[in-house]
Structures are given as structure tokens and as C-alpha cells.
């Protein structure tokens, strides 16, 4: 384990719901709100609230589009979001080095 | 990234302060309160409060001893705590697979 203090863990990203949203977005170009709800197991209200926080922080972009007559809310990581998540991943990987059994 | 939902992340362990305490304890037989305070950057009050929560949950044991005339508070992981942290490590490693740059 590399030494870490409480300052090293980015709480905006570490919060479980937001972490799941970001990890899901990391592996796709963009993702629909309903898809993310299914992936994360979050309620509509929770996902919506965390989406706003991540957008305000500049980690994701949110766009509303129509697919045919259906409105869709599309989320995607910004470059800053991708970088912040990578850095968080490094911090956690360092911290958990030697602890995971896999 | 292996798919995870919000239920998969153990919040008792995920909380940054508690995670740091547990990770520090993972690599030693036992650790002194003051040592852990230095390692984690937590205040006395915060460390004390998280220590109680972890003890109540059965993840750590706390023993007060005298070293010469000095009282010492010693913390150590229980077997259950070691197992829970390992499992948490596996969950997070799965989740962050492909995200860390290192």
C-alpha cells in the first residue's frame, strides 16, 4: 500500500453513486439516462441529483435530444472528467494494492 | 469494467476515513492510535469516532495497554474485517479495471 491521507481521496468522485455513473460513462461514448439507471440501480431522483452535481463540477456533459418523438437525456464524460476519474483510479489502485485477492 | 450496482459497494468500508484506517491496519499486526492519526491525516475526534463504528461492526478490535507508564490504544483488524476489506478491494478493483493509468 502506498501511503495516502484523507486529502488524497476525491470525495466528489468517491461517492458510490457518482463513482458508478462515472465508471459506466468511462467505457462508452455517451449513455442514456434510463440505461444508466438500470446499470447503477439508482432511483430516478438520485441519478438526477448526482447527474447535476457532476455536470456542475464539469466532469460530465448532459444533452437532451429527441430520438424520433422520444426525448432522451444523454450523458458523457468531459475530458476533465475522464482525467479526474483516471487519477482517482490510480489513487485507489495504489491504496488497495495487495488487498484485493484477485 | 465488471458491472456493479449501488448495492455492491460496502459503504461502511467505502467511507474515506474508515477505508484509510482499514488499509493501514491491513499491512500491520496492530497499530497505535497516534500512529494512525499521522498516517491518515485525521483529527483525534474523527479517528476516534470512526474507530468506534468499525469496532461496533466487528471489523476491528481495540485494546488499551500501558507501555511503561504511557497508555496506548491499539487497533487491529479482526478476521471478519480482513475478509470484508479483501472483498471490498475485489469489488473496487473490478470496477476500476481499465480506468487507472498505472
pLDDT digits (tens, 9 = 90+) for A71-91: 999 999 999 999 999 999 999
What are A25-60's pLDDT values in tens digits?
A: 999 999 999 999 999 999 999 999 999 999 999 999
A62 backbone dihedrals φ, ψ, rounded to 5°: -120, 130
State whether A41 and B6 contact (CB < 8 Å).
yes
Is there a contact between A77 and A26 (Cβ–Cβ < 8 Å)?
Answer: yes
B37 backbone dihedrals φ, ψ, rounded to 5°: -60, -45
State whether B41 and A7 contact (CB < 8 Å).
yes
Cα B84–chain centre separation = 10
- Delimit the domains of chain B by residue range: 8-95
CATH architecture of the domain formed by B8-95: Orthogonal Bundle (1.10)
The class that CATH gives domain A7-95 is mainly alpha
CB atoms within 10 A of CB A42: 22
The reply to whether ipTM tops 0.90 is: no
Give the side-chain half-sphere CA count within 13 A for B6. Answer: 15
What are B31-78's pLDDT values in tens digits?
A: 999 999 999 999 999 999 999 999 999 999 999 998 889 899 999 999
Partner-chain residue, chosen from A1, A11, A92, that has the shortest CB–CB distance to B96: A92
Partner-chain residue, chosen from B5, B17, B92, that has the shortest CB–CB distance to A96: B92
B99: left (phi over 0), alpha (psi -120 to 50) or beta: alpha
State whether A95 and B19 contact (CB < 8 Å).
yes
| A60-67 β-sheet, strand order | A31-32, A70-77, A60-67
CB atoms within 10 A of CB A63: 10
Amino acid at each position: 500500500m502506498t501511503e495516502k491521507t484523507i486529502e488524497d481521496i476525491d470525495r466528489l468522485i468517491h461517492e458510490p453513486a457518482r463513482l458508478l455513473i462515472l465508471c459506466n460513462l468511462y467505457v462508452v461514448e455517451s449513455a442514456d439516462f434510463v440505461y444508466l439507471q438500470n446499470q447503477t440501480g439508482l432511483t430516478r431522483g438520485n441519478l438526477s441529483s448526482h447527474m447535476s452535481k457532476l455536470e456542475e463540477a464539469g466532469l460530465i456533459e448532459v444533452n437532451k435530444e429527441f430520438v424520433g418523438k422520444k426525448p432522451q437525456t444523454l450523458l458523457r464524460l468531459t475530458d476533465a472528467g475522464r482525467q479526474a476519474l483516471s487519477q482517482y483510479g490510480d489513487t485507489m489502485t495504489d491504496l488497495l494494492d495487495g488487498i484485493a485477492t484477485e
